[in-house]
Chain A
Amino acid sequence: MTHVLELRNLDTSFFTEGGELRALQGVSLTVGSGEILGLVGESGSGKSLTGFSINGLISPPGRVVGGEVLLHGENVLDLSREAMRRIRGQNIAMIFQDPMMTLNPVLRVETQMRDALAAHLSLSRAEARARSIAALDEVGIPSPAERLRAYPHQLSGGMRQRVAIAIALLHQPDLIIADEPTTALDVTIQGQILALVQRLCRERGTALIWITHDLAVVAGIADRIAVMYAGRLVEVGPVDDVLDNPAHPYTAGLMDSVPSRGRRGRRLNQIPGRMPALTSLPEGCAFQPRCSRATDACRAPQELQDIGPERKVRCIHPLTEATA
């Protein structure tokens, strides 16, 4: 499978008065055509920052300080601002958590869609309108021609997120980065959006990075899963392998924290403590102060190591042994 996107040792830092904060450290990932990668982590794990780094949206005092972002083999970090602008929106699209924030509240849906089209194409008004209607229709918005006249506040949350998805899809991007797109939505609406995104990616062969804190959503939608903790990837692998046999103690802890059937009313296996601040990252493995398996050796720097086909884990005491 060819990789649409490959990250190689991506480092992103924020330069503050207190010194350099290493927000992302050595993030390496691949996403193939038509593949859905679930990028999972808690607040502050760097999952959203990974998305922003790919898209060149890190603003000062933050900066991508090392590594490569390869889109179809080409490193987009080397591109000029103008060249990056042409890629953003056209080849890489983003969907955010809050569609009220992504949509301009004082512009009609039509204006916003036309602007998005005009950013990369020169189309006549009628052509732009026809493409907008087709895009809205595709994401399941009833009577799309009338909806074009609407302002964002006239639409429900689910409809707004559909509009945001329609705008993201206007240019048929190769890669979509979806940052918690269903977190603000109700359960039944979340199901609708999941079904929609799933269908569109499979049909068009779009690569999708689904950023979320919700392991259960990833279980339902993703092919592969990558778990982040304190700016580093701690585990990567196919969704079944990772969720059935988590290798990193943090992944296992996270899964045990999710209330699930069959453990009703019992205490959840909680992970003690909380994620360290970037200003005071512990030495070596960042999870080591909260980990029950930690030994002195965990204070040394840890590398991602292969433990099976397509599986990597950053732990010297993984919960599983390498299989075949």
Chain B
Amino acid sequence: MTAAPMLTVENVSKRFGGKGDLIARGLAAIGLAKPHPQVLAVDDVSFVLNRGEVLGVVGESGCGKSTLGRMIAGLLQPTDGTILVDGEARGARVAKRDEPGKAPRALDLQMIFQDPFSSLNPRKRVTDLIGEAPRVHRIVDRDGLERYVADLMERCGIDPAYRDRFAHQFSGGQRQRIGIARALAVKPEILVCDEAVSALDVSIQAQIINLFMDLRDEFGLTYVFISHDLGVVEHIADRILVMYLGRIVESGPAAEIFTNPQHPYSRALIEGVPRLDRRRVVYNPIEGDIPSPLDPPKGCHFHPRCPLAQDRCRVEAPKLRRIAPGRSAACHLVPEFSTVAPTAAKESTEWPVTKTG
């Protein structure tokens, strides 16, 4: 085991939409044609994730959290920046000769998807769904395969007697367990879970969250847990990235972000989450819709909805700065670390909080 972090994401950006060919670009340059629309889905995101940590990525639709997850899992190529797994670039890892008897290193990252209905092949039996990848990659031999699949099914809470069933014969929660067993079958180091429990009922969701936490302890897995459900992320994550329109607006330890969010957007997001212990809430939500990522606002992306916005926010995009040990935020109004005592920041600005009463 090396001392390198499990996952290093450096200045990663993803741009969708073409520049067009040379002629189109030429025409656009002299103003004869409209430039092709481009979306900067992920804008200069960097973070480091250590072995065994759970990183929660939160944000609303269109914030780029799923795109980031797909780039980490290798399903999309970043436009800029690098992603290192265990200190090595992904491409280099795949090219390396695999050690015999061990899982190919390209399989270190596995993804678990939101919809357990569309992410399982409807024409395959469970035993093939789970067993195909380890068989093809020779993680187990043919004789041991049945035992291997049965163990995985058992571990993920599916009765191995159901191995010959098809995906449609299972409930949503059971299907998600199959998806998890399939991901674990190739012995990954990192699991990228994109809204993995969002489609499930509350009582089933709790079962799957528990399974994730047990598996982390058992296999030392590292998670990137992407969700819009802040309650779930707060429960499972060690660290949080809050994203808005492709940019990280705040990051830090989960406990601190949830008790004392600094960026106005994180505050609005966390204040807005309904909680069991808040009754008859008078909601005082932030106004407006999430702007289109095709045409994001100038300066700070959040300024049109921000109750604290100032002139500076409209022109100058704030950089992600360190605001406390292990915490960063991208806001002009949050004082940089060292310029202010950690507790003073909270009272510094008037905030229209959602009230209970």
> Which residues does A use to contact B, with CB under 8 Å?
42-43, 156-159, 186-192, 194-195, 198, 213-217, 219-221, 223, 239-240, 243, 253-261, 263-265, 267-271, 274-275
Bound CA–CA A223/B273 (angstroms) = 19
Bound CA–CA A194/B289 (angstroms) = 15
| Extra pairs beyond A157-B61, A187-B60, A194-B281 (8, CB < 8 Å) | A188-B268, A188-B285, A191-B286, A191-B354, A213-B202, A219-B276, A260-B275, A261-B234
A186 lies within 8 A of B61 (CB): yes
A186 lies within 8 A of B231 (CB): no
B169 to chain A, nearest CB (A): 13
Residue of chain B at shortest CB distance from A219: B276
Residue of chain B at shortest CB distance from A215: B276
Say what secondary structure dominates the interface of chain A: helix
User: Which residues of chain A come closer than 8 Å to B228, judged between CB atoms?
Assistant: 186-187
Residue of chain B at shortest CB distance from A182: B274
A156 lies within 8 A of B289 (CB): yes
User: Which residues of chain A come closer than 8 Å to B29, judged between CB atoms?
Assistant: none
Residue of chain B at shortest CB distance from A256: B206
User: Which residues of chain B come closer than 8 Å to A223, judged between CB atoms?
Assistant: 280
Looking at B69-77, B127-135, B207-215, B337-345, the stretch in contact with chain A turns out to be B207-215
A243 lies within 8 A of B203 (CB): no
B272 lies within 8 A of A221 (CB): no
Bound CA–CA A257/B282 (angstroms) = 25
A274 lies within 8 A of B173 (CB): yes
Bound CA–CA A213/B284 (angstroms) = 23
Most chain-B CB neighbours within 10 Å: which of A157, A189, A258, A268? A268
Bound CA–CA A254/B205 (angstroms) = 10
User: Which residues of chain B come closer than 8 Å to A271, judged between CB atoms?
Assistant: 203, 206
B271 to chain A, nearest CB (A): 8
B210 lies within 8 A of A216 (CB): no
A-B contact pairs, 9 of them (CB 8 A): A189-B290, A191-B286, A219-B276, A257-B206, A258-B231, A258-B276, A259-B231, A267-B213, A271-B203
User: Which residues of chain B come closer than 8 Å to A188, judged between CB atoms?
Assistant: 60, 268-269, 272, 285-286, 290, 305
B209 lies within 8 A of A220 (CB): no
Tell yes or no: B45 within 8 A of A by CB.
no
Q: How many A-B residue pairs have CB under 8 A?
A: 144
Tell yes or no: B283 within 8 A of A by CB.
yes
B275 lies within 8 A of A253 (CB): no
A186 lies within 8 A of B290 (CB): yes
Tell yes or no: B309 within 8 A of A by CB.
no
User: Which residues of chain B come closer than 8 Å to A259, judged between CB atoms?
Assistant: 206, 209, 231-232, 234-236
B202 lies within 8 A of A254 (CB): yes
User: Which residues of chain A come closer than 8 Å to B117, judged between CB atoms?
Assistant: none
Bound CA–CA A42/B205 (angstroms) = 11
User: Which residues of chain A come closer than 8 Å to B236, judged between CB atoms?
Assistant: 259, 265
User: Which residues of chain B come closer than 8 Å to A189, judged between CB atoms?
Assistant: 60, 285, 289-290
A264 lies within 8 A of B235 (CB): yes
Q: State whether A187 and B281 are in contact (beta carbons under 8 Å apart), knowing that A257-B205, A257-B206, A259-B235 are contacts in the complex.
A: no
List residues of B (284-327) whose CB comes within 8 Å of A's CBs.
Answer: 284-287, 289-290, 305
B195 to chain A, nearest CB (A): 13
B290 lies within 8 A of A260 (CB): no
Tell yes or no: B4 within 8 A of A by CB.
no
A42 lies within 8 A of B206 (CB): no
Residue of chain A at shortest CB distance from B278: A220
B203 lies within 8 A of A253 (CB): yes
User: Which residues of chain A come closer than 8 Å to B273, judged between CB atoms?
Assistant: 187, 216
Contact residue among A190, A219, A265 (Cβ-Cβ distance under 8 Å from B279): A219
User: Which residues of chain B come closer than 8 Å to A215, judged between CB atoms?
Assistant: 202, 276
Tell yes or no: B230 within 8 A of A by CB.
yes
Residue of chain B at shortest CB distance from A214: B274
Nearest 5 Cβ contacts at the A-B interface: A191-B285, A259-B235, A257-B206, A195-B283, A186-B60
A270 lies within 8 A of B231 (CB): no
B272 lies within 8 A of A260 (CB): no
